Chains A and B, each alone.
Chain A
Amino acid sequence: MKTDKKNILTKILLHLIFLCIPAVVAAAFALRGLNEYYAMLENNWFVQTCFFFAGIVTACIMFNLRLRFLPITIILVVILIIIRTIISNIELFEFNTFFYLVRFQVFSTLFVTGWICGWGFSRFKNFAIIFAAIIAVIAIFITVSKSEFSFIGILKTFLPIILFAFYIIYMSSAVRNVITFSRGRFYTFLRNLLGIILLFLLMMSLVGLLMKPAFTEIEKTWDNKTRKNEYEGLLERSSDSAYRMKDKMRPNPTFGRAKDNPEPMFVAYVDNYLDNDSEIPDPLYFVSYYLTNFDSFTETFEKDSVIPYNDLFQTAPSKIDLYFSQTDTAIMKTALADTLTKIVDIDVYNINLSPTEFVAPLTSFFCQPIAIENDYKTQFKSAYRAKSVVSDLNSAYFVYPSRDELLLIYQQQRYDILATVENFDDLPELFYSYYTRLPDNDFIDSLKKLTSEITANAKTPVEKIIAIRNHFLAVDEFGEPVFKYTENPGIPGIPGASKLAHFLFDSHKGYCAHFAGATLFMLRACEIPARLTVGFATVDRSDKNKGWYWFYEDQAHAWVQVYFPKFGWLDFDTTAGNDDMEESPQPDGTPPMQINKANFAGTGKITALDTVNKLIDFALEKMIVNDNEYIFEKSKQIVLDMTMAKILRDTVNLKFSELADNDSGLSLSFDETLKDIKPAINTPKDEVFEMIPKPVKIDEFRIDADKDTEKKNEKSDIDNNLQKDHTNKISIFAVLAIVLSAILILMMIFPYIIFKYYKYKSKLKSKNVNIFYVYKTSMFLLNQLGCERKNMTPLQFASTVADKKYETEFEKFMIIYLQFKYSDIAITSDEKKFVSKFYYNFKNKIHTKHSKFERVKRFLNLKQTLKFYANNYGTTK
């Protein structure tokens, strides 16, 4: 019975250590992964693992003690149900009850799962396979739910899983076999285990190293595929989930913006009304890029790196300091427009666009990031103001027929004005040829034919334009439009055939890229300068908030701009009615109506503080007065009145007392009195400075975090990020290699460590030689050199093997040792002397037989060491 008990104990321990704990680790791994995708309300994988652990351990112990499964599990379930009812009946606050109930349910689910696992491990031989399979399925599930595929990611998920599967399957059968637990078997078992793990790690690292190029290749194609599938539209989504406008466009068989629930991109206020004073807002399309380059082979419209007379204002709002501005007045010149233009103010509140993305109606030349009111901070990421030179003739209403009388009048007026343009003779040669060039192929030839047919009766450019528009808006005899808007235009039957030709001549079905592309070539065929533009179509839904426009993902658009001498570029959209776009997917929200327009902004350093009057002396380095920027080489002292000021560091409100000398920051004033300071453009900055009433009443003061270090940090962050991936990949292999080699080295020197330990314990140099350890040392040495005791008794071994081989006095020593060990006779001093001298003679004799090299080689053999501790060599005959 005693041995039985011992057996059960070892069995339980074996199960716990070698099966349950690894299973719990695997479960933790799985739970962690699952927690990322399922909000189990707690999201605390560690605690959940503990629940599972509790379950598996109790079950393992209970079922190893040969308790019955069914009754105990029934009892457990009953207890759980009782506790659950008790909890639900306790009248805590309503929410608390619910909270605890859910927590308890999570607990009981995991506990029971653990329980079943524990039962399986202790009762069924093949349960490990099932368990490993379940874990693997979970791993696959986790990997699939991740949107990003990467070699390292897959390796990280599956390597431990495969390793675990190997381990658990092997181990469960091994544990089962070692029920009659003997130490010899245990060592072989450990050895096999270690071998398998090492082999597997080696294999995996080899596979990793060899297959990595292939994997990265696959990774790339995956990446491309997923991108293509997800963002085939005009927008692309970067890893930080912000949207950017693509600088490429091609008519694809499908257009990827058909989302049920398009996200809002930004909100803009355009201070543009028809006839200046009228109440009718005049929406303007928002431009991102001009795609002036055309690759006729892939039919891709691209951004040209060098555009003559480039009037695109490109800037990144997030890179400009708050309230400071970037202006490019050269754009006004290259826009080649001087008649009927005005400057329009635009406020853009960014929701999902990338903060570096700048969109504004043509032809913008000014960008000023502005702060967002606190109330709107959660809704909008950033905001900027922009100014554009806009032609009076430009409008989103350029083509669409309208029922509004005022609009009709406006359109007629505009038509009349544009009709005055008869030719493009006065244009610069470079400009004209650049914007009228056409690729040379069959498609263009047939397009030219079509165009000349359409515009046969038109004389002036505007007539031709209207004719082209009418072609696209034409209605057949049943009142159905000939050209239809669709997001799945399909591909032409002949592979490699032009999609634009297919659209224009055959299918008449396409989306904006088709319409715009065809229109562009038709216009150019009429020798009218035109270009393709991508950006956002503006749809006026601003019944309540006049002038405010909301832009959604599906409003990303491509259209054509036409050039009229003196009047400049005008938007010209021929895309047939896309009704979806007109309908807002969700009601437009409230725009941030308060537009903070800082009349004075200045950056500098605080030089002195007057806490009583709340005044600060400020060394002004740069200031903006009513949108004019002045930079002082030598900082100017100015007194700021901070009584009304809101002091901010990042988004945190500070008290005045928290300000300190040498704090640098940005002071803003919305003071109305400052509005009247309107210096002429050429006024020297010192004079402007004198014009400011002092002290300046400051409304907002923003303290900078140390800018320089911040930038450095940013930079190093970026560098780090770039390197991180790289180092990550390297470091995994490096760590693997180091761990492997450390294990190997440790394994190799392990025998020697043991030998040294025995030698140390035998106290050979002292007077009190420990005879037992002398015996152990000698036996270990012999064993390591290939002279095993096997099933012989030590005395037999000494006389028949050791002494014969090495001519030592091992037998004599052994007799003394045995006498010391088994008899009551004390060892005489002579014998002691012999023992203390014995080892050195013994060692020398052995060393003569084995060279140093051989000894070192044999001492690296861990297998031999394990033999020393083995219990049974198999039966002797």
Chain B
Amino acid sequence: MQIIMEQQNETTKQNNQQSQITNKIQLLIDNIETVIKGKRSKIEMIVSVLLARGHVLLEDNPGTGKTLLARTLAQSIAANNTKGLQFKRIQFTPDLLPMDLIGSHIFDDAKKDFIFKKGPLFCNVLLADEINRASPKVQSALLESMAESQISIGDLTYKLQDLFFVIATQNPIEIEGTYPLPEAQLDRFFMKLSLDYVDSETEADIYRNYLKIDENLHAIKQVLSLNDILELQTETDKIYVHDEIIASVRNIVTSTRNDANILLPCSTRSGIIFIKCLKAFAFVNNRPFVIEDDIKTLAQPILHHRIIFKNSDARKKTLHSLVDKEITRLAKLKINN
């Protein structure tokens, strides 16, 4: 009896802790929602990427609120450079140079020496706006730093911040004056999200309160500290993932390799990223374990931009059918713990 009691105590303690932490996440999401309306699921995903130590790419037509969302998020975790969280924003243009991102060596008159002037990359949250408008040179500089978490100039290597979160936005490739990102580069982003248009009621609501958008943005408060985020990130790693979920992720990834409609299939890295995101997403949804719903929700934003499809029809259907197959497998699966 005692043992059971203790166990129960422990679980309640755990639950308390858990709820405290998840409260913080909910706080963050709610905070963002005050500005961005009707996009909670997208916000959850972006937060998941943040917790999974990844980067996110927002792609959609102009005016769907990409930049606003990114700014809101950035501000709610790193507003006004307080509490040591730095937020930088770069508007990418065709004439932007890599130096403008990473910084450059400047001759210091006083010291009679070259000193390294850090660029905007040295921050915690970076909003890379319209990333596909910059030249490939600049793009690759950004992406490299995202992948390596460090910047090398000459002999010197500069480490980026512990928390380095890039929210990149891009316009759809078809629009003029853009340098489309190669698929290999896109691989660096954990998720590629498109915000889509909001539903009609929300749309009307937004029009009604358009004045408040700016107001709210300015009123956004930072709800999480750097330490909070780092703590959440470590908590995320502890989320339990069942072997069958892992098997399903593997099945999806490997099935892209056997599908005739797919030219470039998923890599192993994408599988790892998938698992990371699943954990984070479950955590965001206040669950200490991953379920098949998470797979269904995240498969598209995580995997779709990594795959080169044979044709546009396959682009629309193939991944869905692969995921649906796995979901059905999981739904029928009998697991006896």
List the interface of chain A (C-beta within 8 A of B).
3, 182, 772, 789, 791, 793-796, 818-825, 828, 871-877
Given contacts A772-B335, A820-B337, A823-B242, contact A793 B316 (CB under 8 A): no
Q: How far is the CB of B285 from chain A (nearest CB, A)?
A: 11
Known: A822-B240, A822-B244, A825-B11. 18 other contacts (CB 8 A): A772-B334, A772-B335, A793-B292, A793-B296, A794-B331, A795-B293, A796-B296, A818-B289, A818-B291, A821-B242, A822-B291, A823-B240, A824-B289, A872-B321, A872-B325, A874-B321, A875-B321, A876-B320
CA distance A874 to B331 in the complex (A): 17
Given contacts A772-B335, A821-B335, contact A794 B320 (CB under 8 A): no
A789: chain B residues within 8 A (beta carbon):
331
Q: How far is the CB of B138 from chain A (nearest CB, A)?
A: 36
A874: chain B residues within 8 A (beta carbon):
321
A871: chain B residues within 8 A (beta carbon):
325, 328
| Contact assessment for A875 and B324 in the assembled complex, using a CB-CB cutoff below 8 Å | yes
| Contact assessment for A794 and B317 in the assembled complex, using a CB-CB cutoff below 8 Å | no
B288 at the interface (CB under 8 A from A): yes
The residue in chain A whose Cβ has the minimal distance to the Cβ of B322 is: A875
Q: How far is the CB of B310 from chain A (nearest CB, A)?
A: 15
B312 at the interface (CB under 8 A from A): no
The residue in chain A whose Cβ has the minimal distance to the Cβ of B320 is: A875
| Contact assessment for B289 and A876 in the assembled complex, using a CB-CB cutoff below 8 Å | no
B335: chain A residues within 8 A (beta carbon):
772, 821-822
Q: Please indicate which of the listed interface residues A791, A793, A822, A874 has the most CB atoms of chain B within 10 Å of its own CB.
A: A822
A796: chain B residues within 8 A (beta carbon):
293, 296
Contact among A795, A824, A872 for B337, CB-based, below 8 A: A824
CA distance A387 to B293 in the complex (A): 106
Q: Please indicate which of the listed interface residues B293, B317, B335 has the most CB atoms of chain A within 10 Å of its own CB.
A: B293
B68 at the interface (CB under 8 A from A): no
The residue in chain B whose Cβ has the minimal distance to the Cβ of A795 is: B293
The residue in chain A whose Cβ has the minimal distance to the Cβ of B317 is: A875
Write the B154-189 contact mask toward A (1 if CB under 8 angstroms, else 0). 000000000000000000000000000000000000
Contacting residues of chain B (291-305) with chain A, CB-CB under 8 angstroms: 291-293, 296
CA distance A625 to B202 in the complex (A): 126
Q: How far is the CB of A24 from chain B (nearest CB, A)?
A: 34
Q: How far is the CB of A824 from chain B (nearest CB, A)?
A: 5
CA distance A871 to B332 in the complex (A): 10
Given contacts A772-B335, A822-B245, A823-B242, contact A794 B324 (CB under 8 A): no
A821: chain B residues within 8 A (beta carbon):
242, 291, 333, 335, 337
The residue in chain A whose Cβ has the minimal distance to the Cβ of B321 is: A875
| Contact assessment for A823 and B292 in the assembled complex, using a CB-CB cutoff below 8 Å | no
| Contact assessment for A822 and B290 in the assembled complex, using a CB-CB cutoff below 8 Å | yes
Given contacts A793-B331, A871-B328, contact A819 B321 (CB under 8 A): no
B336 at the interface (CB under 8 A from A): yes
B200: chain A residues within 8 A (beta carbon):
none
Contact among A793, A823, A875 for B289, CB-based, below 8 A: A823
| Contact assessment for B292 and A824 in the assembled complex, using a CB-CB cutoff below 8 Å | no
B223 at the interface (CB under 8 A from A): no
6 contacts between A and B (CB under 8 A): A796-B293, A825-B289, A871-B325, A872-B325, A873-B324, A875-B324
| Contact assessment for B291 and A795 in the assembled complex, using a CB-CB cutoff below 8 Å | yes
Q: How far is the CB of B94 from chain A (nearest CB, A)?
A: 36
CA distance A3 to B290 in the complex (A): 27
| Contact assessment for A825 and B288 in the assembled complex, using a CB-CB cutoff below 8 Å | yes
| Contact assessment for B292 and A794 in the assembled complex, using a CB-CB cutoff below 8 Å | yes
A772: chain B residues within 8 A (beta carbon):
334-336
Contact among A3, A793, A824, A875 for B293, CB-based, below 8 A: A793
B230 at the interface (CB under 8 A from A): no
Q: How many residues of B contact A (CB 8 A)?
A: 30
Q: Please indicate which of the listed interface residues B290, B318, B334, B337 has the most CB atoms of chain A within 10 Å of its own CB.
A: B337
Q: How far is the CB of A181 from chain B (nearest CB, A)?
A: 13
A819: chain B residues within 8 A (beta carbon):
289
CA distance A871 to B330 in the complex (A): 11
A873: chain B residues within 8 A (beta carbon):
324
B258 at the interface (CB under 8 A from A): yes
B8: chain A residues within 8 A (beta carbon):
828
The 8 residue pairs across chains A and B that have the minimum distance between CB atoms = A823-B289, A875-B317, A822-B242, A875-B321, A793-B293, A818-B291, A791-B324, A875-B320
CA distance A873 to B328 in the complex (A): 10
B327 at the interface (CB under 8 A from A): yes
CA distance A405 to B170 in the complex (A): 136
The residue in chain A whose Cβ has the minimal distance to the Cβ of B7 is: A826
CA distance A819 to B328 in the complex (A): 18
A877: chain B residues within 8 A (beta carbon):
316, 320
B244: chain A residues within 8 A (beta carbon):
822
CA distance A796 to B296 in the complex (A): 10
B318: chain A residues within 8 A (beta carbon):
875
A795: chain B residues within 8 A (beta carbon):
291-293
B296: chain A residues within 8 A (beta carbon):
793, 796
B324: chain A residues within 8 A (beta carbon):
791, 872-873, 875-876
The residue in chain A whose Cβ has the minimal distance to the Cβ of B255 is: A3
CA distance A876 to B328 in the complex (A): 13
A3: chain B residues within 8 A (beta carbon):
258
The residue in chain A whose Cβ has the minimal distance to the Cβ of B8 is: A828
CA distance A872 to B292 in the complex (A): 16
CA distance A872 to B244 in the complex (A): 20
A793: chain B residues within 8 A (beta carbon):
291-293, 296, 327, 330-331
Q: Please indicate which of the listed interface residues A793, A794, A796 has the most CB atoms of chain B within 10 Å of its own CB.
A: A793
CA distance A795 to B327 in the complex (A): 11
CA distance A208 to B331 in the complex (A): 48
Q: How far is the CB of B301 from chain A (nearest CB, A)?
A: 15
Write the B5-17 contact mask toward A (1 if CB under 8 angstroms, else 0). 0001001000000
A794: chain B residues within 8 A (beta carbon):
292, 331
B240: chain A residues within 8 A (beta carbon):
822-825
B333: chain A residues within 8 A (beta carbon):
821
CA distance A796 to B292 in the complex (A): 10
A822: chain B residues within 8 A (beta carbon):
240, 242, 244-245, 289-292, 335
B331: chain A residues within 8 A (beta carbon):
789, 793-794
A823: chain B residues within 8 A (beta carbon):
240, 242, 288-289
CA distance A796 to B323 in the complex (A): 15
CA distance A59 to B121 in the complex (A): 68
CA distance A778 to B245 in the complex (A): 23
CA distance A718 to B292 in the complex (A): 74
Q: How far is the CB of A799 from chain B (nearest CB, A)?
A: 10
B320: chain A residues within 8 A (beta carbon):
791, 875-877
Q: How far is the CB of A783 from chain B (nearest CB, A)?
A: 12
B11: chain A residues within 8 A (beta carbon):
825
The residue in chain B whose Cβ has the minimal distance to the Cβ of A779 is: B331
Write the B124-149 contact mask toward A (1 if CB under 8 angstroms, else 0). 00000000000000000000000000
A824: chain B residues within 8 A (beta carbon):
240, 289, 337
The residue in chain B whose Cβ has the minimal distance to the Cβ of A874 is: B321
Write the B227-253 contact mask toward A (1 if CB under 8 angstroms, else 0). 000000000000010101100000000
CA distance A819 to B333 in the complex (A): 14
A825: chain B residues within 8 A (beta carbon):
11, 240, 288-289
B317: chain A residues within 8 A (beta carbon):
875
CA distance A874 to B258 in the complex (A): 19
A872: chain B residues within 8 A (beta carbon):
321, 324-325, 328
Q: How far is the CB of A781 from chain B (nearest CB, A)?
A: 15
Q: Please indicate which of the listed interface residues A794, A819, A823, A825 has the most CB atoms of chain B within 10 Å of its own CB.
A: A823
Contacting residues of chain B (262-294) with chain A, CB-CB under 8 angstroms: 288-293
Q: How far is the CB of A859 from chain B (nearest CB, A)?
A: 21
B336: chain A residues within 8 A (beta carbon):
772
A182: chain B residues within 8 A (beta carbon):
325
CA distance A100 to B242 in the complex (A): 65
The residue in chain B whose Cβ has the minimal distance to the Cβ of A772 is: B334
Q: How far is the CB of B9 from chain A (nearest CB, A)?
A: 13
CA distance A819 to B11 in the complex (A): 14
B289: chain A residues within 8 A (beta carbon):
818-819, 822-825
CA distance A772 to B292 in the complex (A): 16
